[in-house]
């Protein structure tokens, strides 16, 4: 990979904040719809978001494995263990992000926790990518910002259609649940600037966490609501789009 210019704290903060706020755009389809969003659309959004995460996970691994395969590989396993352990410890292993029944207060709180824990792993990915340079950082944050819109629709669907919350208030909650992205992106980037030796392991760690979340959390509910071929097309297209986008916009293509 060619040399990339360094990310700055201000730019990272602004880009991550924009990505977090982008989650609020997921509320737009809920405004003015009397019967709400079909659950299959929400499942399609989850599949697209899952594909984006697979693509980002691949790119992080490509960089990490290219420099230090052993360290990145160990980080990959640790990331999988971390993401699974956090879900197990928090008692949210079986919380479905696309609930198909009514959602009461405690259930809604657990859903918000699931989305916040999910956002924390994505924040680590943003920070790790930013530590590799400006281009990869902005590309990863931009991709995750787009994925935030599709993914937030799942939480909004649960809060608006299953828990009876107003779209505006639900959008605010969706944005708040994405805040860990901003915080973890800045923390991870700062840590890796201070201790550069941790970078390749952290790239693997972030990739492992993203892949585990896709396979454990996002896809089971999506398959329940949408036909397999549609899921396969959406996930494959989104993942391929991210990899192709980096080939076009990254150092090799730009």
Among 33, 247, 251, 254, binds another protein (CB under 8 A): 247
Binding to another protein by residue 142, rule CB under 8 A?
no
Q: Which conformational region is residue 3 in: left (phi greater than 0), alpha (psi within -120 to 50 degrees), or beta?
A: beta
Binding to another protein by residue 111, rule CB under 8 A?
no
The Cα 153–Cα 44 span in angstroms is: 10
Binding to another protein by residue 1, rule CB under 8 A?
no
Size of the site for another protein (CB under 8 A): 38
Minimum Å distance from CB 251 to another protein? 11
Residues 37-66 that bind another protein (CB under 8 A): 58, 61-62, 65
Alpha helices in the chain (DSSP H): 9-22, 39-67, 69-89, 105-132, 134-156, 167-194, 199-213, 219-225, 228-249
Residue 107's Cα: distance from chain center in Å?
Answer: 21
Range 81-106 burial, b when 16+ CB lie within 10 A, else e:
ebbbebbeeeebeebbbbbeeebeee
Tokens of 227: 């036909």
Binding to another protein by residue 229, rule CB under 8 A?
yes
Binding to another protein by residue 236, rule CB under 8 A?
yes
Among 8, 9, 14, 69, binds another protein (CB under 8 A): 69
Q: Which stretch binds another protein (CB under 8 A): 134-142, 149-157, 190-198, 208-216?
A: 208-216
Minimum Å distance from CB 133 to another protein? 18
Binding to another protein by residue 254, rule CB under 8 A?
no
Nearer to another protein, 135 or 165 (CB): 135
């Amino acid at each position: 990979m060619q040399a990339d210019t360094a990310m700055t704290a201000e730019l990272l903060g602004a880009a991550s904040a924009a990505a977090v706020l982008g989650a609020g755009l997921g509320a737009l389809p809920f405004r003015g719809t009397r019967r709400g969003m079909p659950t299959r659309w929400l499942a399609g959004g989850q599949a697209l978001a899952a594909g984006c995460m697979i693509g980002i996970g691949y790119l992080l691994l490509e960089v990490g494995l290219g420099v230090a395969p052993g360290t990145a590989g160990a980080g990959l396993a640790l990331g999988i263990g971390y993401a699974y352990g956090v879900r197990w410890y928090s008692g949210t292993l079986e919380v479905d992000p696309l609930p198909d029944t009514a959602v009461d207060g405690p259930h809604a709180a657990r859903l918000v926790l699931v989305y916040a824990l999910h956002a924390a792993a994505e924040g680590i990915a943003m920070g790790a990518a930013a530590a590799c340079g400006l281009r990869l950082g902005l590309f990863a944050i931009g991709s995750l910002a787009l994925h935030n819109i599709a993914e937030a629709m799942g939480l909004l669907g649960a809060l608006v259609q299953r828990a009876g919350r107003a779209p505006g208030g639900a959008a605010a909650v969706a944005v708040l649940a994405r805040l860990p992205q901003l915080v973890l992106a800045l923390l991870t980037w700062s840590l890796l600037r201070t201790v550069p030796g941790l970078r390749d392991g952290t790239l693997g760690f972030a990739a492992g966490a993203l892949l585990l979340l896709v396979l454990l959390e996002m896809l089971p509910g999506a398959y329940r609501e949408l036909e397999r071929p549609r899921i396969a097309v959406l996930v494959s297209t989104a993942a391929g789009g991210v990899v192709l986008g980096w080939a076009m916009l990254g150092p090799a293509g730009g």
